[in-house]
Chains A and B, each alone.
Chain A
Amino acid sequence: MVNATKGVFISCDIPMAQYIINMNASLPASDKFIIHILDNTHMFVQPHVEQMIRSRIAKFREDNTYVKPN
């Protein structure tokens, strides 16, 4: 019987993939979201975590920027 699982397919560069894997590892077991790590640049994750990953990446980006005050 063929099995089909719904989820989100992530395609990105290697450093970003490592960042996402590390994000997954730092969460408690009930919150882990990676279903399959397909290769260096692709992974398959839970359907509901797309927005969470995007906001975490955006926050990571913002932490490394500085805006000069007016």
Chain B
Amino acid sequence: MPEVRIIAKNFMDMVASMPAMKLDKLYENGFICEAILRSVPPLAKKYVIQMLHIDVPVAAKLLEEWVLPAGVSKHRVAIDRLVQLRVFLEAVDRKNEKTYKVNPTFQRSLQKLLVQGGTLPRESMPSNITVRLPTLENLEAYALEQWECFLLQLISPSQVEKPLNISSSLMKVFQRRILSHRDKEAPKLTESGFQFLLMDTNAQLWYIIREYISNSEDRGVDAADLISFMLELSFHVIGEAYSVDTLTSFQRTIINDLADLGLVKIQQGRKGSWFIPTKLATNLSMSLADSSSRKQGFVVVETNFRVYAYSTSKLHCEILRLFSRVEYQLPNLIVGAITKESLYSAYENGITAEQIVTFLQQNAHPRVAERVPSVPENVTEQIRLWEADLNRVEMTDTYYYDEFPSRDVFEGACDCAREWNGLLWEDSKKMHMVVKTEVHPYVRDYLRRQK
């Protein structure tokens, strides 16, 4: 069995966590097999290609001979990944030695795809029907704009001019770890929520898609069908139009949701409607490490605590409002100031000084990003000091022990509390001590045994 426990970090980890029967069904689709092949480490790719036409089990020792000693750890990672994804099936042969065999379904599908080539379940529509398709630049701008509109509705619903069509129950699924809801109060961004906003677009997309898929069973949708369709989608060509009319009603629902997220664009024509995949959709089959692109920075912080954000984005304004005092919001410039009061408001919501400093540094405008430091040191230090000021007084629930009968009993009790990491204070002259409430039962039991 795999030595690495599966924690869903990206799409393929969700695939790996599916039960075996569903995985085998998934692998009947050649494009899904290709997506899987794309996502695995380079060494694993080599093993799959090398064993693609070998029908019999191969001894684990034989596989180990294919790598140099220095590559053993990479070898281990690659094999574990293939076993997790059930591309390799593990078994024991008659000599009681471990063997690996390529999943027959996966093997057959990938062989067929490579030998015969494959056509997508749907082809792009002829251009005489889909006149005036958007250009690639317009499509990318649409995707990012739509995604940003979704994020804005996610974290600050009252700011959205035209709300998306995503159902409120689905939006609550996305929000459940990002916003905290208290009675009779507006929802506030949590520490996790701010961390979510700090991620790059691809990582944010993974999170949302993962929640969407995890929640699908509650909505009566098979997660395997959903993953299958999304992986198929990632093989469609960006900017090409595909007919909506040929989709099943289930797939149509997904397409509408994905349109709200910016993964596809839906257009209506006289003879029907079609959807156009954007770059976000084709990113679905990439592994997270491959996406090295990062948004361009837009924030300038000055030594007098003034913040200038060269951005047209309402979302950026809302993010800055979380920890700074926004004074002017011009069409392409946001002017604000980092103040003690605005930071205290952020700290009360659970946002930490370190997160704020990281945000400012990672989103530094190109003109200041090259400087060292990109955010003035007096600003970063003050942000941290103001947070420390909130934590000047530490309070711990405790028990105060006194009136020990002898030195030995006192020393023993102190040692006992120390062993449980609960001794906060002691005065050996007076034989008094303070222990944490959690440790009190152990000290009490110890003292009873001394009688």
Q: Most B CB atoms within 10 A — which of A4, A35, A47, A65?
A: A4
Cβ proximity bits B255-270 to A, threshold 8 Å, 1 near / 0 not: 0000000000000000
Q: How many residues of B contact A (CB 8 A)?
A: 29
Q: Are A3 and B402 in contact (CB-based, < 8 A)? A: yes
- CB-based nearest B residue for A44: B400
- CB-based nearest A residue for B444: A4
Task: Report chain B residues within 8 Å CB of A4.
Answer: 399-401, 440, 444
Which residue from A5, A12, A47 sits with its C-beta under 8 Å from B392? A12
Which residue from A2, A10, A35, A65 sits with its C-beta under 8 Å from B395? A10
**What is the minimal beta-carbon distance from B418 to any residue of chain A, in angstroms?**
16
Cβ proximity bits B394-411 to A, threshold 8 Å, 1 near / 0 not: 111111111111000100
- CB-based nearest A residue for B424: A9
**What is the minimal beta-carbon distance from A37 to any residue of chain B, in angstroms?**
12
**What is the minimal beta-carbon distance from B415 to any residue of chain A, in angstroms?**
15
Q: Most B CB atoms within 10 A — which of A6, A9, A16, A38?
A: A9
Report the number of A-B residue pairs with Cβ-Cβ less than 8 Å: 78
Q: Does B188 touch A at the CB level, under 8 Å?
A: no
Q: Does A40 touch B at the CB level, under 8 Å?
A: no
Once A38-B427, A65-B340 are accepted as A-B contacts, the answer to whether A8 and B394 lie under 8 Å apart by CB is no
Q: Are B405 and A2 in contact (CB-based, < 8 A)? A: yes
Distance between Cα atoms of A8 and B281 in the complex (Å): 55
Distance between Cα atoms of A39 and B357 in the complex (Å): 36
Q: Does B447 touch A at the CB level, under 8 Å?
A: yes
Q: Are A12 and B394 in contact (CB-based, < 8 A)? A: yes
Distance between Cα atoms of A42 and B396 in the complex (Å): 11
Query: Which chain B residues numbered 361 to 400 have a C-beta less than 8 Å away from chain A?
Result: 389, 392-400
Q: Does B93 touch A at the CB level, under 8 Å?
A: no
Range class of the A interface residue count:
20 to 34
Task: Report chain A residues within 8 Å CB of B432.
Answer: 36
Distance between Cα atoms of A20 and B394 in the complex (Å): 13
- CB-based nearest A residue for B443: A4
Q: Does A53 touch B at the CB level, under 8 Å?
A: yes
- CB-based nearest B residue for A47: B397
Distance between Cα atoms of A6 and B440 in the complex (Å): 10
Distance between Cα atoms of A1 and B444 in the complex (Å): 12
Distance between Cα atoms of A67 and B345 in the complex (Å): 12
- CB-based nearest B residue for A20: B393
Distance between Cα atoms of A67 and B340 in the complex (Å): 9
Which residues from chain A sit less than 8 Å from chain B, CB to CB?
1-13, 16, 20, 35-36, 38, 42, 44, 47, 50, 53-54, 57, 61, 65, 67
Which residues from chain B sit less than 8 Å from chain A, CB to CB?
339-341, 389, 392-405, 409, 413, 424-425, 427, 432, 434, 437, 440, 444, 447
Beyond A3-B401, A7-B398, 16 extra complex contacts between A and B, CB < 8 Å: A1-B405, A2-B404, A2-B413, A3-B402, A4-B400, A6-B397, A8-B395, A8-B397, A9-B424, A9-B425, A11-B394, A12-B394, A38-B425, A42-B425, A54-B395, A67-B339
- Pairs across A and B, CB under 8 Å, 16 listed: A1-B403, A2-B401, A2-B404, A2-B409, A3-B403, A4-B399, A6-B437, A7-B398, A12-B394, A13-B392, A16-B393, A36-B400, A38-B427, A42-B425, A54-B395, A65-B340
